[in-house]
Amino acid sequence: MTSALFDPLFGADRVAARLDDASWVAALVAVEVALSRAAAEHGIVPADDADKIEAAAASLQIDPAALGRAAVEGGNPVIPLVRMLRAAAGEAGRSVHPGATSQDVMDTAAVLLVGWAGEVVLDDLRGAADAAADLARRHRDTPMIARTLGQQALPTTFGLVAAGWCAGLDRARARLADVLAALPVQLGGPTGTLASLHPHGPAVAASLARALRLADAAPWHTERTRIGELAGALAVAAGACAKPATDVVLLAGTELGEVSEAAPGDSSSMPHKRNPIAAVTARAAARRAPGLAAVLLAAADHEHQRAAGPWHAEWETITDLLRATGGAAARLRVSLEGLEVHPDRMAANLALTAEASGPPGHAGELVDRLLAGRP
């Protein structure tokens, strides 16, 4: 659920703007309009009806709260939405929702919504990765102590640490982008056979996919591996954000003081504190992602040709997972874009352990390798 109180705090406000109730309604309506157009393209409904449906949809004022109340009886908002569109379109209402079932519209609308919100998540992942790459280049040869199991180990460079952050963010972003691009339209009819659109079913599905700029695929109404792949990609991206956020929190501690955020947070009772709050809230947002992904993975057991419960469990969970990962990426981007590095403190900490002296190996070369050919 979107929250005016907490979304800005946890970085989800920009992505949440594409996941609110109005966005859901807009996606549902877009699918219905595109479906009528696709059916008209193949002579299943009159082209004039499709024109009237599009005009009716554009003028229709839908209250999400009222739609939600009307959805209780049938268990999803598509059923009352179809009634509204049919009434608004007059005689052309006969051509609303041709050959489809509620899940077709809900799944395709969810894919649209994921794409809209995914653009924001990818942008913030890119911004965070670019900031990490910039830190890596500027501090390619800035020596610091590496720490293993919480203890001082051997010398490294801050550039290599930041390059590692960048590599993880780039990999997570590339995987998420691939998953988002592959999410397809869903059109199968009541039992996934496209019987209601025979003999034009696959052609209508292809036209619908083109109209909505989605991938085309055979019906996947109870085959939910794509949702599992999305869950995994989002959770991995959240983990990629959590790693640098955790390092920033630790390196910014008073006893280390090796980095600090450009706009540190204060305390209500301790005015001397300078909390790395962007990294803190990035970690908080990322912590929610694995649990939400687990819900989607657990809901993969859609029984027979229409799931009684697991399908319904996906809707809000997908949007919550997008908000969690998007928030982690947004807050990490803020942290890294303004991160201040303190080489003097790194040098002082490096000198604490005599046994840890010496050159940082191939750190500089490894920075170059990690940053080479970034996507």
Q: pLDDT for 253-265, tens place per residue? A: 999 999 999 976 6
Per-residue model confidence as pLDDT tens digits over 283-334: 999 999 999 999 999 999 999 999 999 999 999 999 999 999 999 999 999 9
How high is the pLDDT of residue 265?
A: 62
Structure tokens at 272: 């001397």
Q: Is the pLDDT of residue 50 over 70?
A: yes
pLDDT of 269: 54
The pLDDT-based confidence of 375 (bands split at 50, 70, 90) is confident
Over residues 39-44, mean pLDDT? 98
State the alpha helices, DSSP H only, in the chain.
Answer: 13-16, 21-41, 47-59, 64-71, 78-89, 102-138, 158-182, 201-212, 225-251, 277-298, 310-337, 343-350, 363-371
C-alpha to C-alpha distance for 375 and 203, rounded to whole angstroms: 35
The pTM of the full predicted model, rounded to 2 decimals, is 0.95
For 69-73, 252-256, 258-262, 352-356, which range has the lowest pLDDT when averaged over its residues?
A: 352-356
pLDDT tens by residue, 57-69: 999 999 999 999 9
Note the helical H segments in 270-350. Answer: 277-298, 310-337, 343-350
> For residue 61, which of 94, 100, 22 has the smallest C-alpha distance?
22
Vertex 204 angle, CA 199 and 205, to 5°: 115
CA atoms within 13 A on the CB side of 305: 11
| 106-121 pLDDT tens trace | 999 999 999 999 999 9
Q: 3-class DSSP state for residue 42?
A: coil
Beta bridge partners of 156: 144
pLDDT for res 283: 98
Question: Which tens digit of pLDDT belongs to each residue from 338-347?
Answer: 999 999 999 9
- Given this model, what pLDDT does residue 3 score? 85
> Which domains, ranges and CATH numbers included, belong to the chain?
101-371 (1.20.200.10)
Tell me which residues are annotated as active site. 267, 306
- Give me the pLDDT at residue 270, please: 54
**What residue has token string 């670019």?**
130
97-108: burial string, b at 16+ Cβ within 10 Å, e else: bbbbbbbbbbbb
Q: What is the mean pLDDT of residues 15-42?
A: 97
